[in-house]
Amino acid sequence: MTRHREVQPAAGESYLHRRNQLFSARAKAPTHHELAPRKARTLAQTGVPAIGGQMRVLKRPLPRYNQTPVPVRSGRYTHRSGLLWKVFGIFALLVLVALGSNFALTSSAFRVAQVSVVGTHNDILVRNIQHMGMQGQNIFLIDVVALTQRIDMLPMVASVDLEKQWPNQLQVSVTERTPVLLWQTSHGTYSVDQHGIVIAPADETTGANALMTVVDGRNQGKTAGGKGTVIHPGVQLNATDISFAVAVFAELPQVAGVTNFTLRYVDT
C-alpha cells in the first residue's frame, strides 16, 4: 500500500530545485545585447540550400537627419531648391544683358570711324556719301535701309548696297549712272543717262568731253513734258527723246560722214 505523505515531499523538492536553477540562469544573463551566436544555415531557415559558412546578425545603422525640417527626399524641398536656382540664373542673365547692351551702345569701339565707298572713282560722289553723317554714329543704331534709300536718291547713283563691317566701319558699294549725252539749256549743260535722268553738271561728269550735245531750244530749257520744271540733277527727261538723240548720234556719222555736229531740240 503506497503512502502519499512520502511522495509529495519528493515532488516538491524537485519543483523547487528547477525554479532555483531558472532564477539563477536569469541572474547570470548579461544586461547588454550581444551578437547572436553564428549558426549554420539550413534549408529550413533560408529556403535555399546553404553554400557554406555561417550567418552573422548585423545591426542596421540609425537614419541620419538633416537640420532642415523638410525631409531631403521631400518633393517640396527639391522644388524649392530648383526654383531658387532658376530665379538666380534669370537675374544673372538679365544683369549680363544689361551690362553688354550698355557697353555696346556707349563704347567708342562701336562708333563708325570709316566709311569706304567702292565702285566709283568720282571724288564728288564719294564726298557726298561720306558727308551724310554716318561717321561717329553707333554701328548698332545705324539704319541701313534708310541710309541706302538716301544714297540711292543721289542722281549719280544707279544702285547702292550698304554693308556693316564690324566693329566700326561701313562699306558702300555704288553703281554710277552712265551718261550717254549732254543736254544743254540756258541754265547750264548736264549729263543725261539712257533713261532720261539728269545726272550732274557737265563739269562734274567724268568723260564729258567725249559726249555729244543736244541743245534744248525750247522756252528757257523747260522739260520735255511741258510741266514747266527747270532742268537740274535728278529731273527725268523724256526717255523717248533721249533714245532718238542717241540713235541720231550713232547713225548720222555713218550715213553722212559727219562726226562733229550739234543736235538742236526745238518745239514744232
pLDDT tens figures, 38-82:
555 555 555 555 555 555 555 666 666 555 555 555 556 566 778
135 contacts: CB under 8 Å, gap ≥ 6: 112, 113, 114, 115
Q: Count of alpha carbons within 13 Å of 16, Cβ hemisphere only?
A: 6
Domain spans in the chain, listed from the N-terminal domain onward = 80-108, 111-176, 179-265
Least confident range from 78-87, 138-147, 157-166, 177-186: namely 78-87
C-alpha cell at 95: 544683369
Distance CA 178, CA 175 (A): 9
Query: Looking at per-residue confidence, does 230 or 165 come out higher?
Result: 165
Rounded to an integer, the average pLDDT of 250-268 is: 80
What phi, psi does 107 have (nearest 5°)?
-75, 140
Whether 33 has a pLDDT exceeding 60, the answer reads no
pLDDT, tens digit, for every residue of 202-247?
Answer: 999 999 999 999 998 875 544 444 445 688 999 999 999 999 999 9
Name the 3-class secondary structure at 173. strand
Rounded to an integer, the average pLDDT of 14-37 is: 66
Query: Looking at per-residue confidence, does 114 or 68 come out higher?
Result: 114
Query: Looking at per-residue confidence, does 75 or 91 come out higher?
Result: 91
Q: Among candidates 15, 12, 17, 14, which has minimal Cα distance to 4? A: 12
DSSP 68-102: SSS-TT-HHHHHHHHHHHHHHHHHHHHHHHHHHHH
Q: Which of the 8 DSSP states describes residue 127?
A: H
The mean of the pLDDT values for the chain is 80
Contact 198, 234 (CB under 8 A): yes
- Helix or strand (DSSP H, E) at 20: helix 4-28
CATH superfamily of 111-176: membrane protein fhac (3.10.20.310)
Specify the pLDDT at position 68. Answer: 56
C-alpha cell at 9: 515531499
Distance CA 85, CA 116 (A): 49
Distance CA 109, CA 169 (A): 10
Name the 3-class secondary structure at 247. helix
Assign residue 2 a region: left if phi > 0, alpha if psi is -120 to 50, beta otherwise? beta
Query: Looking at per-residue confidence, does 46 or 152 come out higher?
Result: 152
Specify the pLDDT at position 225. Answer: 47
Least confident range from 8-12, 25-29, 189-193: namely 8-12
Task: Please report, in angstroms and rounded to a whole number, the separation of the first and last CA atoms in the chain.
Answer: 181
The pLDDT confidence band at residue 104, using thresholds 50, 70 and 90, is confident
If 0-12 CB within 10 Å is exposed, 13-18 middle and 19+ buried, where does residue 170 land? buried
Least confident range from 16-20, 57-61, 207-211, 250-254: namely 57-61
Specify the pLDDT at position 221. Answer: 44
Specify the pLDDT at position 159. Answer: 96
Q: Which residues of 46-55 are buried (b: 16+ CB within 10 A; e: fewer)?
A: eeeeeeeeee
Specify the pLDDT at position 132. Answer: 94
Distance CA 82, CA 90 (A): 12
Whether 136 has a pLDDT exceeding 60, the answer reads yes
